[in-house]
Structure 1
Amino acid sequence: MALAPFRTPGRHGYAVEFSPYLPNRIACATSQHYGIAGCGTLFIIDITPDGRLHPICSYDWNDGLFDVTWSENNEHLAVTGSGDGSVQFWDISQPKGPIKSLKEHTKEVYGVDWSQTRDQHLILSASWDKTVKLWDPLGHQSLATFAGHDHVVYSAIWSPHLPGCFASVSGDHTFKIWNIKRPHAPSIVVPSGNAEVLTCDWCKYDQNLLVVGTVDSRISGWDLRNPRQPVFSLAGHEFAIRRLKCSPHTGSVIASCSYDFTVRLWDFTSPQKLLETIEHHTEFVCGIDFNMHIPGQIVDCSWDEKVMVYTPRCLAQ
């Protein structure tokens, strides 16, 4: 079942995320001109009781917005990363914004992530300047810079299990595992083959399992206790894996979106692996997320200026 799409005219979707507080609220980060030039807009969208996608507010920035993450301790706060190297903090209870913008990166910020462990409220930003930075949302300068990659860092994602632990993925064909107490060197460095690594996510039910997606259309799972080779590999996409998310409801289910215009659902424990292919976009699909409050519900966004909310057949109860 799919709701009617929400359209973002003149804005191409890069990232989308359900609120961790409100099951009907979504944030979507977008850019003009496919992110090559122009400004960006953050859309805050609610799913109404009658099943429509209704914008409650939007905020413009003077450069493209490439990622968004919700605060884990304030339902009104969202954070975005921009093409001008800055990280913005938006209070959606206020009509104007942002309430704060922090700029230390020298190139595009392509990924932002708010920590999920209860005893920490920290933000990561991943940049084309080859670094990851650590931020306290109450501060005005970064706490640390992680500079172990040799190419663009596309994403840095906190472990939902281990405080102070995160993974980063890069155009240098590796992913790395870091401890924030030791910013000068990663704890683990894993070559992933001969392709840039664009995205990763942690399994929500196994603290040792990291799933990564690469430019060569491959999804692989890695047991970090023995990362010499992947424990599974998923093939089916025709082009680069732009983003993937592990299900918060079923430990073996993964959703991925790709430059092949599709979204795919996988179960890496199932004999057939690929559960479903969804073809409702006409451009690159760049953002995807599971609703942690409603099992089976997914949101995605695309360069075709559409945000879609739906429940794939394979996840319908």
Structure 2
Amino acid sequence: MADVQLGQTFPVKSRLKPTPKKTSSPPESKYWRSFKTQQIPDLVYSITSIDFSPEPPHDFAATFSASVTLYSSQTLEPKFKISSFTDVAYSATFRSDGKLLAAGGESGIVQVFDAKSKSNLHRKLRGHTRPVRLVRYPRFDKLHLFSGSDDSLVKYWDIASETELLSLQGHKDYVRSGFASPASSDMFATGSYDHTVKVWDVRVSSLNSVMEVNHGKPVEDVVFLPSGGLLATAGGNSVKIWDVIAGGKLVHTIESHNKTVTSLCVGKVGSDGGEESEKYRLLSVSLDGFLKVFDYSALKITHSMRYPAPLLSVGFSPDSSVRAIGTSNGILFVGKRKNKQTEIDAPGADKLFGFRSVEEPEKRVLKPTNFRYFRRGQFEKPSEGDYLVKRSPKVKLAEHDKLLRKFRHKEALVSALNGKNPQNVVAVMEELVARKKLLKCVSNLDMEELGLLLGFLQRYVTMPRYSGFLMSLAKKVLELRAEDVSASDLLKGHVRNLKSSVAEEIRTQQSLQEIQGIVSPLMMIAGRR
């Protein structure tokens, strides 16, 4: 009660409703928003695939129209363009050492290039009779690659001799996606428009798939998760995760997109050597224009971002510094994360950011042994170990709070009633109850002020949040001011409206109890069955 005697310092708040806590953005959302997105426009044609080199500086290849373009991950400018295709190119992919680049084409030919020079054509692999939409290298094998085509065949190639080693027959429709297993260079998965995903092992002589799962929709993309024990598939508007070790058991289904999911990739949250350096996420893009980030360990979406066009492809650099997304209208959205000074000092950064990297001299740090240390002003930036004394924020008081500070209790109640904010009115009433002044204030109200109070009670007495408090107050008001109410037609009208509201609430509660009496036995019977 000491605070009451000294006067009201802070605004009164109703105790009937807890103050909601302010929620800040999740730390992972801040991480994904730290990528500063730039647009590479005017590519004209749909960007069907994006692949990052496994080796630093992790340049990436974008496939669109009849060409494959290699972009620098540091300056985001094109290094060179491969235009030796006579038709549409598909699925450009890097070898594990980043030295070779392979891509399929509309003519059914798989072409292999030197990733360091566009002029050096390495190999041509002929064998498919329809467009080749899938080309991938095994994880660690530098001598072979596998491809999938609209002829429903999956082929395994020897690059050096340009010969076909295996022709895997099992799919019954277009083979449009695939991924190499991170656990073995002899295993890979392929997805088809026949709704199935097959896992192949080239060491098995029967040429049959060692595992098969049915996604339920035409499969647009397949990705092995980093451990190699889980497989993610995309088709329709859903992404499904399968347990490879358990023989293809469905682990989880993600249905967060509204349209067809077109591409998947795995990204690592943070790569600065901290606690987050080993947290992997599954990224998916869709024709609905959304990028979704999925934490498959917690089975939840951790971030979502929308782009102004349907998305066809997505890629994420192994060092977690660059994210690239291709659209159907020929725009490449590249997000680069600025987290180290080395990015500014990188080759070509002066051209990208418009300045040269100059080594700045270190500023001299003031120490307590220097007299200027004690003459620092209030605008001096604090050092790392300084203890900050912050000024208390100025509290803005409402009119009823100012009146409560001056112990003008009746005026405070009338001011709150005129404000027509029920939360403030109830808060003032509770404060007056704590000060044992509420009934005295009610007794001192004139006829007009009493009408304000009865009108407030009539409007809010049946509100569940306030009903318990206002019901008892209404009873006390009518007992204290019965003679005044009987002498005024206006106050009688307020009381009639109050009785009508209470009677209507009682009828509603009785109807609800009757319904509960009917439903409860039925629920008990249903629970026993």
Does residue 41 in structure 1 map to residue 67 in structure 2?
A: yes
Pick closer, same or farther for the CA change 1:196–1:251 going to 2, 3 Å. farther
Kindly state the Cα deviation for residue 280 of structure 1 after the two structures are TM-superposed: 2.5
Deviations 1:222-258 (A, max 9, x none): 1123346411111111111111112356555100111
Pick closer, same or farther for the CA change 1:7–1:97 going to 2, 3 Å. farther
Query: Paired residue for 2:229?
Result: 208
Alignment match of 1:266 (pick from 294, 307, 310)? 294
Q: Distance in 1 between matches of 2:42 and 2:119?
A: 19
Aligned 8 A contact 2:322 2:336 in 1: yes
Does residue 9 in structure 1 map to residue 36 in structure 2?
A: no
Kindly state the Cα deviation for residue 163 of structure 1 after the two structures are TM-superposed: 2.7
Identical aligned pairs, as a percentage? 21
Alignment match of 2:284 (pick from 256, 278, 283)? 256
Alignment match of 1:247 (pick from 267, 283, 294)? 267
Query: Paired residue for 2:64?
Result: 30
Query: What amino acid is aligned across from residue 223 of structure 2 in structure 1?
Result: D
TM value normalised by structure 2: 0.53
Query: Paired residue for 2:309?
Result: 282
Kindly state the Cα deviation for residue 82 of structure 1 after the two structures are TM-superposed: 1.0
Does residue 19 in structure 1 map to residue 19 in structure 2?
A: no
Pick closer, same or farther for the CA change 1:112–1:255 going to 2, 3 Å. same
Kindly state the Cα deviation for residue 8 of structure 1 after the two structures are TM-superposed: 4.7
Kindly state the Cα deviation for residue 168 of structure 1 after the two structures are TM-superposed: 1.0
Query: Paired residue for 1:34?
Result: none
Q: Distance in 2 between matches of 1:239 and 1:72?
A: 33
Query: Paired residue for 1:306?
Result: 331
Q: Distance in 2 between matches of 1:309 and 1:90?
A: 24
TM value normalised by structure 1: 0.86
Pick closer, same or farther for the CA change 1:130–1:114 going to 2, 3 Å. same
Pick closer, same or farther for the CA change 1:19–1:8 going to 2, 3 Å. farther
Cα RMSD for the two superposed structures: 2.2
Name the one with the larger helix percent: 2
Does residue 128 in structure 1 map to residue 150 in structure 2?
A: yes
Bigger-Rg structure (1/2): 2
Q: Distance in 2 between matches of 1:266 and 1:127?
A: 29
Pick closer, same or farther for the CA change 1:254–1:311 going to 2, 3 Å. farther
Give ranges in structure 1 of 5+ residues lacking alignment.
Answer: 32-39, 313-317
Aligned length: 294
Q: Distance in 2 between matches of 1:228 and 1:26?
A: 32
Aligned 8 A contact 1:234 1:268 in 2: no
Does residue 98 in structure 1 map to residue 121 in structure 2?
A: yes
Alignment match of 2:95 (pick from 48, 71, 78)? 71
Pick closer, same or farther for the CA change 1:115–1:248 going to 2, 3 Å. farther
Aligned 8 A contact 1:203 1:251 in 2: no
Aligned 8 A contact 1:177 1:187 in 2: yes
Query: What amino acid is aligned across from residue 69 of structure 2 in structure 1?
Result: F
Q: Distance in 2 between matches of 1:253 and 1:291?
A: 13
Q: Distance in 1 between matches of 2:118 and 2:243?
A: 45
Kindly state the Cα deviation for residue 54 of structure 1 after the two structures are TM-superposed: 0.7
Query: Paired residue for 1:85?
Result: 108
Q: Distance in 1 between matches of 2:248 and 2:207?
A: 23
Q: Distance in 2 between matches of 1:311 and 1:14?
A: 21
Aligned 8 A contact 1:169 1:176 in 2: yes
Query: What amino acid is aligned across from residue 290 of structure 2 in structure 1?
Result: T
Q: Which structure exhibits the higher relative contact order, with contacts defined as CA atoms closer than 8 Å and separated by 6 or more residues?
A: 1
Q: Distance in 2 between matches of 1:158 and 1:219?
A: 18
Query: Paired residue for 1:191?
Result: 214
